[in-house]
Amino acid sequence: MKAGETLRAMVRAGLWVGAVGSLCFTVYAGRHNASVLLRALFAVWVLSPFAGLLLAERSAERVPTGIANSMRGSALVIMVCSLGIYGAAAMSGPGRHTTFAFLAVPVASWLAIVPLLIASRIVARR
């Protein structure tokens, strides 16, 4: 298996692990919140960057190998950082305000994902 194929397989598996793990941490952190709607909105918001990473992974197949590997490496970093931050926030203990992490991490993730998507569109057109 080539390095690019290994990286692609890692990202595809990581997308599932990252999405499920992030969802679990979100549900755990919001377990005391009585509003089902609010918990559902947080779950969708936390999962949205993983949909963006899936789009980036699919668009990486149409760009040169070096750019695709950079995109996939960035996706792995985003996934690992998201899980680490969500895990730390969810396990911080009762009485701690964890909402900020679950609001800010998706914003930061999207700020990293959008340039990847734009770059892949520009390069794929050439």
- Per-domain residue ranges of the chain: 3-125
Which pLDDT does position 70 carry in this prediction?
86
Which pLDDT does position 1 carry in this prediction?
63
Question: How many C-beta atoms surround the C-beta of residue 19 within 10 A?
Answer: 20
Which pLDDT does position 45 carry in this prediction?
97
Which pLDDT does position 67 carry in this prediction?
84
Which pLDDT does position 94 carry in this prediction?
67
With contact defined as beta carbons under 8 Å apart, do 50 and 111 qualify? no
For residue 71, which of 80, 82, 58 has the smallest C-alpha distance? Answer: 58
With contact defined as beta carbons under 8 Å apart, do 73 and 14 qualify? no
Residue ranges of the chain with per-residue pLDDT less than 50: none
Task: For residue 1, give Cα distances in angstroms to 7, 26, 57.
Answer: 10, 35, 18
Residue 29 CB-density burial (10 A; 0-12 exposed, 13-18 middle, 19+ buried): buried
At what angle are helices 36-60 and 65-90 packed, to 10 degrees? 160
Which pLDDT does position 88 carry in this prediction?
94
Question: How many C-beta atoms surround the C-beta of residue 99 within 10 A?
Answer: 13
